[in-house]
Amino acid sequence: MVKTVLDKGWLAARSTEVEINGVQLTTTQPPTQPLNSPWMEASVPGTVLGTLLKNKLIPDPFYGLENEAIIDIADSGREHYTFWFFTTFECKLSNNQHVDLNFRAINYSAEVYLNGHKEVLPKGMFRRHSIDITDILHPDGQNLLAVLVYPPDHPGRIPPKGGQGGDHEIGKDVAAQYVEGWDWMTPIRDRNTGIWDEVSITVTGPVKLVDPHLASSFFDGYKRVYLHSTVELVNRNALVAECSLNIQVSTELEDGTFLVEHLETQHVSISAGANIHYTFPQLYLYKPNLWWPNGMGKQHLYNVEITVNVKGYGESDTWSHHFGFRKIESHIDSATGGRLFKVNGQPIFIRGGNWILSDGLLRLSKERYKTDIRFHADMNFNMMRCWGGGLAERPEFYYYCDLYGLLVWQEFWITGDCDGRGDPVSNPDGPLDHDLFLLCARDTIKLLRNHPSLALWVGGNEQVPPPDINAALKNDLQLHPYYMNLNNNGTSTITPLIKDPSQYLDGTRVYVQGSMWDGFADGKGEFTDGPYEIQNPEDFFKHDYYQYGFNPEVGNVGMPVAATIRATMPPEGWQIPLFKKLSNGYIEEVPNPIWTYHKYIPYSKPEKVHDQILSYGKPNDLDDFCLKAQLVNYVQYRALLEGYTSQMWSKYTGVLIWKTQNPWTGLRGQFYDHLLDQTAGFYGCRSAAEPIHVQLNLATYSVEVVNTTSEELSNVAIETSVWDLEGECPYYKTSEKLTVPPKKTISTFEMKYPKSKNPKPVYFLLLKLYDVSDNRIYSRNFYWLHLTGGDYKLLEQFRERRPPLKITSLTFIKGSSYEMRMHIQNTSKKPDSNAPLYRNNFIRRNGSFDESDSSESFDLLDGEKHEISLYEKIRRNFSRGHNKAKVSEVNGTGKGVAFFLHFSVHASKEENKKGEEDTRILPIHYSNNYFSLVPGEVMTVTISFEVPPGVTPRVTLHGWNHHDVHTVL
């Protein structure tokens, strides 16, 4: 198969401004060049709103209050957002070739015109369309294509108070439901009308392959595995096709070559014009490399290629897909009542997040998906939930989840707000066309089912589908016997009496009817997810914080950095909230109207939680407010995850945070903003979700060790040190040797400093879990704490106590790619100690991306020893580039903790000639950020990024008590 993606050269025009029809557009009167009104350059894939924004015909709906200036489809009528899209492509066929025009998704229906021929594409946002255009291609190979795209049938109206899903009319269609607005999202004015996913043409011979299905089954303790595969074959000839059908399984070696592990050839005869389903004999593999979720092992992927050769023609079609051998099971745990997941027989404690989509205007791309998914893996998450009001995510999303080890919970397009409740009360029977819903669901299953990251299907968000749809999905997604819990690691043998798994629509994954049913929340559909606002950090650890075993949604704050506010709002949006004192002594935050429009969630909860930003002192301006918000973000999300893992398996089986990011410039529930800059909450999660982690139980002050891996942790100990604001260490303790069983959280000893004589009202706590034999560190965790009933206001004075730093950097440059190795040392005089833990020599985690294996070392500029594996990896990747080294000294005014240090990367000042406020280069991948160093301590941070053409990057360091900008590159 030869595939050509049609993603360039598109034009668009509003249908009411085009006076000719589709036949004329694609024969005698195509749009002329240069562009003439009403035609404009179009974004395909994309939406109408994306095209209008590209041509600056509307203001940026994500900036300030500009979305209010864009006419809503409810006021304009559907015709206003009904658009023509036009392009040309070249395709000339040889004998017995066939070509299809493919639309992977359109919202919501369309008329397609090609060289004067018309084809109507039926409704539904989540379905593929394929048109055989062999007989209507132009003889000279030059083809004219026009597509008239219609918005959803029921775009709805936005009530004055907004709300969850507007007036819920969009729920009558099979479409994304967030587009009428939510408590985290403003309405999308065109309801995402457009050719929003890939358009392509594919050329094959007389027989083509359609929707192969791959499945694997395991026996004898995962030593014996079988690959099952079924494919649909379509013979488009008027003659019988004698075919040679091949399946090949190969694996990529480290040097980029592929090793063929299996090659099977079968002969099949297909009648003229027939469609058949062919099932290969199962392929046997012994001890294959398994695919594991993030934190449990490596994500081994094989390449499976299926080819059909036709006698007298040759190769007719080919299909390939990466594939991971793994088995995913889940059941309701009897001990906790929560749903418990197993991968390859190993229980996995779920720590992940809820996902809406990358971008509210559906400006989707492989590059954006790669960053999104890598960010989630960098936070040590192992699952993403694709929320039912958003998308059936695209194959590119799943590819990167496969690559980075993120399990995916995929919901269908049902939400309680738009399907049976709300104000006004929504239609209780789901979409109007149930057959259309099921058609889209089945097509989505076929599109995504071969991805190893896909863990389960869920009927809907906080609601189940209507009874007939739910029954059909349960039937379509019933488990094959090989994937039922009873068939674990026994010695069963494959029998031909059981239907081949690849002949099922899926059959390998559990279907759960709703996000609060069957092991999630209370399991019965009551509203028992949440809460969604600021919390007292210690409350997360209390047994009564959350009653049920698996929380599918628990939310919190998510204020971005000040630079993002300035980049996404006019100056009137830079005003920080007013702090209104109530009669009960609590503070109510009153945000400015732009923050309110962008769904700001406050850092106080009157009558329960005192304002957490004010606990650091009243902020002076936007920069001060956002910096203090980052402190709170870090504390809140670290405590949230640590509280759940503190009771791993005894009370909980998993938790998913609402939500990980925003598909627009929102101000709540995010670990990185829409511009791709990370909040400190990102690094709070990264710390708390380590596979092996040492933590402080904030409710009991006991020090705990979390081991989520499948291996026992032995010969380890914990170093505990307390540091005051003067840089002294009044409390130091090392534990006895510990053994931590696999999949277990243990409590070790109480951290008694607060009960000691004359404890300081504000202090720092540093915990390190290390290997006693070589002092390598498994986990490092740094806290700032205050005594009961106190606050952090003393940290305001601490800002002037600036400790000296030494920063050694090694930078590798290849074209526009930069990799930096930063070696940061707090050169304050440390207390007398021979302990080598100051060097923070970390143990590499199996399957992680940190690549900090310290089995060998090299001298990095200043004589310190560092790990060779990452160095060698960078050196190989950048061998044809160049590198530079630099040592920066930051003089200090006193000794003490270097608190809350964070890097950022900017375009150099010389290149910011226009004086734009936002000079950041984004995205950036940091191995660590928002970190603190005690006197004498060393931290190594790696940074990787791409720079725009012609831009020289400038890397800067800031900190709570390093508030001046220090340039380190």
Residue 854 has pLDDT above 60, yes or no: no
d(CA 808, CA 569): 37
Give the residue numbers marked as catalytic.
462, 553
**883 within 8 A of 876, measured Cβ to Cβ:** no
- Answer whether residue 317 shows pLDDT above 70: yes
Q: Counting Cβ atoms within 10 Å, is residue 891 exposed (0-12), middle (13-18) or buried (19+)?
A: exposed
| The pair of three-digit structure tokens given for residue 328, joined into one six-digit string | 């995913």
Q: CATH number of the domain at 413, please.
A: 3.20.20.80
Q: Are 122 and 103 in contact (CB under 8 A)?
A: no
Q: Are residues 184 and 248 in the same domain?
A: no
The last residue of one of the domains, among 154, 179, 201, is 201
Q: Give per-residue pLDDT as tens, 691-738.
A: 999 999 999 999 999 999 999 999 999 999 999 999 999 999 999 999
CA distance 509 to 407: 12
- CATH number for 7: 2.60.120.260
Q: Are residues 895 and 781 in the same domain?
A: no
Residue 32 is predicted with a pLDDT of 81
Residue that terminates a domain, selected from 781, 799, 817? 799
In a domain, 329, yes or no: no
**What is the average pLDDT score of the chain?**
92
pLDDT tops 70 at residue 274: yes
* Same domain, yes or no: 809 and 795: no
Total number of residues shown for the chain:
969
Question: Is the Cα torsion angle 909, 911, 916, 918 positive or negative in sign?
Answer: negative
Number of other CB atoms surrounding residue 771 within 10 Å: 16
How far is the C-alpha of 154 from the C-alpha of 125, rounded, in Å?
A: 13
Given 181, 201, 221, which residue is the final one in a domain?
201
- Torsion of Cα atoms, 688 then 692 then 694 then 698, to 10°: 40
Give the span between the Cα atoms of 129 and 132, in whole angstroms: 10
pLDDT band, residue 890 (cuts 50/70/90): confident
The answer to whether residue 557 is domain-embedded is no
Residue 873: is its pLDDT beyond 80? Answer: no
Model pLDDT for residues 87-101, shown as the tens digit of each residue: 999 998 988 999 999
Whether residues 240 and 388 fall in one domain: no
Check residue 415 and report its DSSP letter.
Answer: B
Where residue 279 sits, what CATH number does that domain have? 2.60.40.10
Rounded average pLDDT over 450-466: 97
Q: What percent of the chain has pLDDT over 90?
A: 85
Please indicate, yes or no, if residue 622 is contained in any of the structural domains.
no
Q: Between residues 184 and 493, which one has the greater pLDDT? A: 184
Question: Is residue 881 pLDDT above 80, yes or no?
Answer: no
d(CA 236, CA 826): 72
Q: Are residues 211 and 195 in the same domain?
A: no
pLDDT tens profile 63-86: 999 999 999 999 999 999 999 999
* 521 conformational bin, left if phi > 0, alpha if psi -120 to 50, beta if neither: left
288: containing domain: 207-323
643 in any annotated domain: no
Same-domain check for residues 370 and 253: no
In-domain check, residue 16: yes
Q: What is the CA radius of gyration of the chain?
A: 29
Q: Provide, rounded to the nearest whole percent, the portion of the chain with pLDDT above 70.
A: 93
Residue 872 has pLDDT above 70, yes or no: no
| pLDDT average, residue stretch 924-935 | 97
Q: Is 7 found in the same domain as 78?
A: yes
pLDDT at residue 33, rounded to an integer: 66
CB neighbours of residue 829 within 10 Å? 12
pLDDT in the model for residue 862: 39
Which pLDDT score, from 0 to 100, does residue 882 have?
Answer: 67
Q: For residue range 601-652, what is the model confidence (pLDDT) as tens digits? A: 999 999 999 999 999 999 999 999 999 999 999 999 999 999 999 999 999 9
In a domain, 336, yes or no: no
The number of domains in the chain is: 5
Q: What average pLDDT does range 351-376 have in this prediction?
A: 97
Region 212-217: mean pLDDT is: 97
133 and 244 share a domain? no
Decide if pLDDT at 242 tops 60: yes
492: confidence class by pLDDT, cuts 50, 70, 90: very low
Specify whether 101 is located in the same domain as 57. Answer: yes
**Better-scored residue on pLDDT, 847 or 48:** 48
Question: Given the structure tokens 């005594």, which residue do they identify?
Answer: 787
In a domain, 669, yes or no: no
Q: How far apart are the C-alpha atoms of 417 and 424, rounded to whole Å?
A: 10
The verdict on residue 628 lying in a domain is no
Band (181; pLDDT cuts 50, 70, 90): very high
Q: Are residues 31 and 179 in the same domain?
A: yes
- Looking at the structure, do residues 742 and 812 belong to the same domain, yes or no? no
The pLDDT value recorded for residue 877 is: 55
- Residues 813, 795 share a domain: no
